[in-house]
Amino acid sequence: MPHSKSFDDPLTLVVNDFIRESLKFRYSLENLRSFHSLDSVPNHTLLAVHHFLIHRLFPEWEERCRQDAYFEQLQQLLNNAMRLAPLTAVALKSLFRFGRNLPKAVNIGKLFIKTFEATRSLEKAMTEALVKRRETHNSESMDASVTQAMLDVGRERFLLYVDDIVALMELLNERSLLQTSLSVLTDIVGAMEIRRDAYSTTEIEGGNYAIRTISEGIALFDTLSPEMVHSLLSTIPKVETAWFDRATGT
């Protein structure tokens, strides 16, 4: 497995499990159906959102560490002009295909990865709070420590995470530009596979992983009307804050 910074603190695993389990609950079909603003959104879309959050945004630990390594290397590659030099022909091909939309499409593809990773900020803040908690309360149960860590992080910090989730979903709704980004990335990865002397297996696998992730994200909104998209995006903060208030007793 490629190295990932996720391994840096073992308590991150505890927090990751906590967040995943809480996501499973609050994005379960039963819980989402308790929000009447989602009445117009079909079951299959709500189930797809649940699947995307659990299996892509906060996957199981081994997959998560692999994902971190893939995205980190892919960002380094996309931001390194010298490393991209062997792909000049692909860039020219994409410029011909997509014209003036190409720079914006490339930037939105990079933003997708950055926004995807930004949602992890809550995990980092909770891990830091949990480390401090265990230093002074190492005899209490881990469940109690994690709950207290959430309280220590606080509602204001949690709301920043909610903003990141909404920003990611809004980005996924930019289907036309993301589709262009996906096409460009597919061209790039195809060229990388031909030039295996210049690119590592991890970089190529990371590109393919990003293609699958973006494709799944785009599919979330493919069949929704603008009204349904608005209902979904405007309800996410309600789902998140309702869970936080219940979990922390606030």
**26-30, 49-53, 92-96, 137-141: segment of lowest average pLDDT:** 92-96
- Are 205 and 70 in contact by the 8 Å Cβ rule? The answer is yes
For residue 25, give Cα distances in angstroms to 16, 22, 66, 135. Answer: 14, 5, 25, 30
Q: Is the pLDDT of residue 96 over 80?
A: no
- Tens of pLDDT, residues 178-237: 888 888 888 888 888 988 988 999 899 999 999 999 899 888 888 789 999 999 999 999
Mean pLDDT of 3-30: 83
- Tell me what the pLDDT averaged over the chain comes to: 86
Q: Higher pLDDT residue, 2 or 55?
A: 55
81: number of Cβ within 10 Å: 7
Residue ranges per domain, the chain?
5-248
Q: How is 79-140 classified by DSSP, letter by letter?
A: T-HHHHGGGHHHHHHHHHHHGGGHHHHHHHHHHHHHHHHHTTHHHHHHHHHHHHHHHH-TTS
Residue 92 has pLDDT above 90, yes or no: no
Q: What is the largest CA-CA distance in the chain?
A: 64
Closest CA to 169 of 20, 83, 53, 9: 53
Residue 224 CB contacts under 8 Å (≥ 6 apart), including other chains: 41, 45, 232
Q: How far apart are CA 244 and CA 10, in angstroms?
A: 24
Spatial distance between the Cα atoms of 227 and 47, rounded to a whole number of angstroms: 18
Confidence of residue 77 (pLDDT cuts 50, 70, 90): confident
Cβ contact 153:126 at 8 Å: yes
pTM: 0.84
Crossing angle for the helix pair 88-98 and 102-118, nearest 10 degrees?
A: 110
The answer to whether the CB of 119 falls within 8 A of the CB of 4 is no
Q: Of residues 108 and 43, which shows the higher confidence score?
A: 43
Mean pLDDT over 55-79 rounds to: 87
pLDDT of residue 100: 63
Which of 29-33, 70-74, 78-82 is the most confident on average?
Answer: 29-33
Rounded CA separation 70/209 (Å): 8
Residue 158, Cα to own-chain centre: how many angstroms? Answer: 16
Q: What percent of the chain has pLDDT over 70?
A: 89
pLDDT band at 71 (very low <50, low <70, confident <90, very high): confident
Nearest-angstrom CA–CA distance, 225 and 211: 24
What pLDDT shows up at residue 74?
Answer: 84
Q: For the chain, report the end-to-end CA distance as a whole number of angstroms.
A: 41
Question: Between 97 and 112, whose confidence is greater?
Answer: 112
How many helices (H) and strands (E) the chain has is answered by 13, 0
For residue 134, give the amino acid letter: R
User: Which range is least confidently modeled, 27-31, 54-58, 99-103?
Assistant: 99-103
What pLDDT is stored for residue 3 in this prediction?
45
pLDDT level of residue 44 (50, 70, 90 thresholds) = very high
The stretch 93-103 carries a mean pLDDT of: 63
For 211, half-sphere exposure in the C-beta direction (CA atoms, 13 angstrom radius) is 14
